[in-house]
Structure 1
Amino acid sequence: MDSEKLIHKITEKKALKDSKELLDYVSESGENTKEYIRYKTLWAMLQTGNEMDEETINDGYKAVKRNVKGRKSSLYINVVKYAAIVVFALLGGYFIHFADFNNEIAMNEIFVPKGNRTSVVLPDGSKVWLSNGTKLVYPESFVGDFRNVQLEGEGFFEVTHDKDHPFIVNVGKHRIKVLGTKFAVVAYPDDEQVKAELVSGKIQFDIHLGGTGDNYKSLMVSPMHSLVYDKTSGKVYDSTIPDGFYDYWQNGVYSFKDERFDSLATKIARIYNVEIVFGDEELKTRTFTGTLSVDDNIYTLMEAFKIASGKPFEYTFESGKIYINK
């Protein structure tokens, strides 16, 4: 099966299990499996606009158009649209491949590098927005009693309601059960906390208590509240969602109030793909109030922090790192 025919079947939303031709093609070799998952995942990312600006789309389109000849059918347009997003994905450093292929169910894996954002439509129509060093693993189609996905990093979910098939976000050993709702999860493996933020609907935060098996402590999250689990102490904190919640997910603007510099440094490192190194422990404890945008220039941002700081500090850039000293 050539690439154009494979893309054509994917753009027709032909499920693997519903097409003997697709299933035979994927079963032929591991390379065919990878090719299918690569195309399928990229097409899913394309469905929600993928946070691409018009210039990026046009550049990708032009680059492909110069090398594609033939009739301008709907298939041709789909191929060019697909190729444009491939150009975007490669330039942005996105990593997309299959995680497993078993029992006719393929697993998609998307990794969004630091300093980037994207979105994807899942097989059930649910939408997920991902950003800044985040990995999402999900099946090509949901089967069985539950709709399971795995997340490392941060994502905002709009889950399609299906009371008979709960949606579950697995974050390490912990999980979040959903029926149909809007919520966000922040669960980086190297962070000390796991956070669930509920906008509307109903979610259950299952905290794994150690050992093997289903040993969970289940907590309900109230709408417009966040539940934070501290991995070190085992404590759980409940708080209201800040006013700037939507700005961050919809517009890439992060609002903060009296937040410590070391906490902001973690956010800055993920958004701007830099590492911040503090030369003095006291610098970490300084607090700031304001906003930062994914579109901000990192140099301008650091100048703003320097001006806003009650005590002076100096900073230098070197090989992707920002060194901050008194």
Structure 2
Amino acid sequence: MRTQDNQLKALAEKYEAGLCTPEEFKQIRDWYDSFETEGYPLPGDDEIKRAAGEATTRAINWVAKHQKPARIRMLWLPILKIAAALLLVASAGLLIFKAAHHGAQPIVWLQVSTAPGIKKQVTLPDGSVISLNSGSTITYPETFSSNIREIKLSGEAFFTVVHDPRHPFIVHTRQVRVQVLGTSYNIHAYPGETNTEVAVATGKVGVWGSSDKNKKVYMLIPGEQLAYNSASKRYAKSNLLVADIGSWQQNVLNFRMETLENISKSLSQQYGVTFTFKDRSLLNKRFQLKVKKESLANILKLLSISGGNFPYHISGKKVTIG
């Protein structure tokens, strides 16, 4: 037990300094997750004070034994600082437990949503900026907690996160969680779609599954994209042009060998229309297309030509394919 406590103390110090490796982040997440599942054996206030006093006494005795008498007085202040640091680490679990279970202030959550065809920019309490794509929703606290910045996303957004190594920034989606200290990246996580995608423009990003038991962390650098397929339960990493990441902010639609079914979902979000497929065989037909600020009619015309001139019809907010 003592060895485990020492390891947790060392991890806590590295975490506070923003120096944890992905594997160490996993250990810390497992530790914190244990609060929710099985609880954590926390000492009482008297025990923590006793242990802190004992640590201070041991430190002073060590100095008295190993240093010259003239230097002992000079070392008192640093010793007390070390003892205070030990007390802080030792009581961290208790403080977290009390904040979570005894009189913690309720978190006030704010929500911002965009309608189909509408994009919006949101500035978070820490100054980070989120560009929210159409048909998307973010949920975030009115004030971030003292040790972490967490938000929830449904849909697509481009994040420009203020760098803060002491307060990791975590985005929760239905399929994955994304953690950074400060960087810019895009998350595509629309409900009802098979793929959830994370692409990095600057910095480094850690990604892991929301329900993965092993909680393996995938690290991404600029120009890399990680896609999680909810049907196959598999991850796939690929490379992108950095300039293409988040290009939807400039009204650019970029489909890379995408199925017509997924393209229709994207067009529904961007133009506020619904699609009906009379010819179901067209659903899995794949297309490569990149257009900017084009009308829906022109996009469908380009898709039809490259797809063998399949028939389509636009009637108000309804599109019929086949």
The TM-score with structure 2 as length reference comes to 0.63
Partner of 2:117: 115
* Residues 1:296 and 1:174: Cα distance change in structure 2 (over 3 Å): same
Measured in 1, the distance between the counterparts of 2:242 and 2:286 equals: 19
Partner of 1:34: none
State the percentage of identical aligned residues.
28
Measured in 2, the distance between the counterparts of 1:196 and 1:189 equals: 15
Measured in 2, the distance between the counterparts of 1:258 and 1:118 equals: 28
Measured in 2, the distance between the counterparts of 1:197 and 1:269 equals: 22
Q: Does 1:252 align with 2:251?
A: yes
Unaligned runs of 5+ in 1: 1-101
Measured in 2, the distance between the counterparts of 1:243 and 1:164 equals: 27
Which aligned segments of 4 or more residues in structure 1 are displaced greater than 6 angstroms?
none
Q: Aligned match of 1:302 in 292, 297, 300? A: 300
Q: Does 1:280 align with 2:289?
A: no
Q: What value does the CA root-mean-square deviation take over the aligned residues?
A: 2.1
* Residues 1:105 and 1:260: Cα distance change in structure 2 (over 3 Å): closer
Q: Contact between 1:209 and 1:217, CA under 8 Å: does it hold in 2? A: no
**Aligned pair count?**
219
Measured in 2, the distance between the counterparts of 1:170 and 1:164 equals: 19
What one-letter code is carried by the residue in structure 2 that aligns with 1:125? G
* Residues 1:222 and 1:244: Cα distance change in structure 2 (over 3 Å): closer
Q: Does 1:136 align with 2:138?
A: yes
Deviation at 1:121, TM superposition (A): 0.8
Partner of 2:290: 291
Partner of 1:92: none
- Mapping 1:185-200, distance limit 5 Å: 185-200=187-202
Q: Contact between 1:165 and 1:179, CA under 8 Å: does it hold in 2? A: yes
> CA-to-partner distance for each residue in 1:96-139, whole Å, 9 max, x for gaps?
xxxxxx82642210011111111111110101100121000111
Measured in 2, the distance between the counterparts of 1:235 and 1:127 equals: 30
Measured in 1, the distance between the counterparts of 2:210 and 2:296 equals: 38
* Residues 1:267 and 1:173: Cα distance change in structure 2 (over 3 Å): closer
- Mapping 1:1-326, distance limit 5 Å: 103=105, 105-172=107-174, 174-209=176-211, 216-242=215-241, 245-246=244-245, 248-293=247-292, 295-309=293-307, 311-318=308-315, 320-325=317-322
Measured in 1, the distance between the counterparts of 2:191 and 2:316 equals: 25
> CA-to-partner distance for each residue in 1:3-37, whole Å, 9 max, x for gaps?
xxxxxxxxxxxxxxxxxxxxxxxxxxxxxxxxxxx
Q: Contact between 1:129 and 1:249, CA under 8 Å: does it hold in 2? A: no
Q: Contact between 2:267 and 2:273, CA under 8 Å: does it hold in 1? A: yes
Which protein shows a greater Rg?
2
* Structure with the higher fraction of residues in helix conformation: 2
Unaligned runs of 5+ in 2: 1-103
Deviation at 1:145, TM superposition (A): 1.1
Q: Contact between 1:130 and 1:154, CA under 8 Å: does it hold in 2? A: yes
Measured in 2, the distance between the counterparts of 1:235 and 1:118 equals: 32
* Residues 1:232 and 1:288: Cα distance change in structure 2 (over 3 Å): closer
Q: Contact between 1:119 and 1:127, CA under 8 Å: does it hold in 2? A: yes
> CA-to-partner distance for each residue in 1:147-186, whole Å, 9 max, x for gaps?
0000000000010011000000011263111111011111
Measured in 1, the distance between the counterparts of 2:320 and 2:266 equals: 16
Measured in 1, the distance between the counterparts of 2:193 and 2:246 equals: 23
Deviation at 1:308, TM superposition (A): 3.0
* Structure with the higher fraction of residues in strand conformation: 1
Quick check: 198-207 or 215-224, which moved more? 215-224
* Residues 1:236 and 1:246: Cα distance change in structure 2 (over 3 Å): closer
Deviation at 1:292, TM superposition (A): 2.8
Measured in 2, the distance between the counterparts of 1:297 and 1:319 equals: 13
Deviation at 1:319, TM superposition (A): 5.4
What one-letter code is carried by the residue in structure 2 that aligns with 1:308? S
Measured in 2, the distance between the counterparts of 1:261 and 1:152 equals: 22
Deviation at 1:243, TM superposition (A): 5.9
Q: Contact between 1:145 and 1:165, CA under 8 Å: does it hold in 2? A: yes
The TM-score with structure 1 as length reference comes to 0.62
Measured in 2, the distance between the counterparts of 1:205 and 1:308 equals: 36
> CA-to-partner distance for each residue in 1:196-227, whole Å, 9 max, x for gaps?
1111111110113457xxx6222111221000
Partner of 1:10: none
* Residues 1:314 and 1:244: Cα distance change in structure 2 (over 3 Å): farther
Deviation at 1:312, TM superposition (A): 2.4
Q: Contact between 1:181 and 1:202, CA under 8 Å: does it hold in 2? A: yes
What one-letter code is carried by the residue in structure 1 that aligns with 2:147? D
* Residues 1:259 and 1:104: Cα distance change in structure 2 (over 3 Å): closer
* Residues 1:276 and 1:185: Cα distance change in structure 2 (over 3 Å): same
